[in-house]
Amino acid sequence: MSTLPVIAAVDGSDDSLRALDWALDAARGRGAPLRVVHVWQYAAAWTPPGVQVAGPPDQEQDAVLDQVRTYLEGRADRPVMEYLGLRGAPAAVLPELGSTAQLLVLGSRGRGGFASLLLGSNGMAAARDARCPVVVVPRPGREVHGDVPAGPGPRVVVGLHVDSPDETTLAFAFAEAALRQARLQVVAAYPWPAQTWASPGELAPPVVDQDAIENETRILTDSLLAPHSKNHPDVRTEPYVAPGDAAGHLVAASKDADLVVVGRHRRRLLSPARLLGSVTQAVLLHAASPIAVVPPRAWEE
């Protein structure tokens, strides 16, 4: 059985070349081919009838793919390389590529759109709709606030919601940490202060003990990690249990991390469309490290 490729989406921008470098290392670590894809968006679909426009170039004449070939020329230990030029709207074409890849990698911004945006529409669409994990590589220099203790050395960060754990996201994070020989920092946040409600005329519920909530969260975290640790005994886990906003803790933990792993929102009965979820969106917009968005299993979509 052939190995599914890692796909790097390129458009000639510096952002896409940074993503290409990340994808190159990922493909090499996985023993997978690297497929470099350029989606050429041309104006025919938005041109009034009767107006002549130039069509997309031949694949052999794709200047962006030629740029990539030159950029990678002479690189040692390159994986098997494939180059593919496609036509259409990137926000629609790129997510479709996820069904034929084990990983889709792209930069946080491309050539189009507004330079002030922190994440381009193509990255948002791919993270929301692709059938494989999507890695978004941000521009360097993103500042993060907050302090999550972390020691030196390679580190993968993953978010864990103990009330509704995403086993697919945890499995991906453990596998990625194993590939990188990195430790896995698991961020498990619990809401605080706790919200308590009483109907008029009823006695107020007892005061919630924060220590008890934190201890219960820690116990649940350890139990949820146990089967994954058994599958990856060489991966050292570092649970980080703290009160407050999960997105804020994950963004803070992204400083100097190799990768932050988050899950894509599962579909709900009243929300049948694919969603990213507020935590995932915040991490995509603000994390300093590359971010992997992991889709749920096919039957959960």
The pLDDT of 44-48, averaged and rounded, is: 48
Crossing angle of helices 278-286 and 246-253, rounded to 10°: 30
Measuring CA to CA, which residue among 247, 252, 262 is closest to residue 143? Answer: 252
The pLDDT of 265-294, averaged and rounded, is: 76
Residues 6+ apart with CB under 8 A from 88: 39, 41
Considering only 6-10, 168-172, 208-212, 258-262, which range has the smallest mean pLDDT?
Answer: 208-212
Residues 6+ apart with CB under 8 A from 167: none
- Whole-structure pTM value: 0.85
| Residue 197: per-residue pLDDT | 55
Domains and CATH numbers, the chain: 6-137 (3.40.50.620), 155-197+208-300 (3.40.50.620)
State both tokens at 19. 């993503």
**Per-residue pLDDT tens for 239-249?**
999 998 899 99
The pLDDT of 269-281, averaged and rounded, is: 64
| Residue 53: per-residue pLDDT | 38
Considering only 47-51, 69-73, 222-226, which range has the smallest mean pLDDT?
Answer: 47-51
How open is the CA angle 203-209-213, to the nearest 5 degrees? 120
State both tokens at 76. 């040692």
| Residue 57: per-residue pLDDT | 52
Scanning the structure block, which residue is given the tokens 């917009």?
Answer: 285
Residue 36, pLDDT above cutoff 80:
yes
Residues 6+ apart with CB under 8 A from 250: 157, 159, 187, 260, 262, 279, 282, 283, 287
Q: Is residue 142 within 8 Å of 15, Cβ to Cβ?
A: no
Name the strands in the sheet holding 103-107, side by side, starting at the edge strand that comes first in the sequence: 81-87, 34-40, 6-9, 103-107, 134-137, 291-294, 259-263, 155-159, 183-190, 237-243
What average pLDDT is seen over the chain? 84
Residues 6+ apart with CB under 8 A from 234: 178, 181
State both tokens at 121. 């529409």
Q: Which residue has the higher pLDDT, 25 or 197?
A: 25
Q: What is the largest CA-CA distance in the chain?
A: 77
**Per-residue pLDDT tens for 47-61?**
455 444 344 555 557
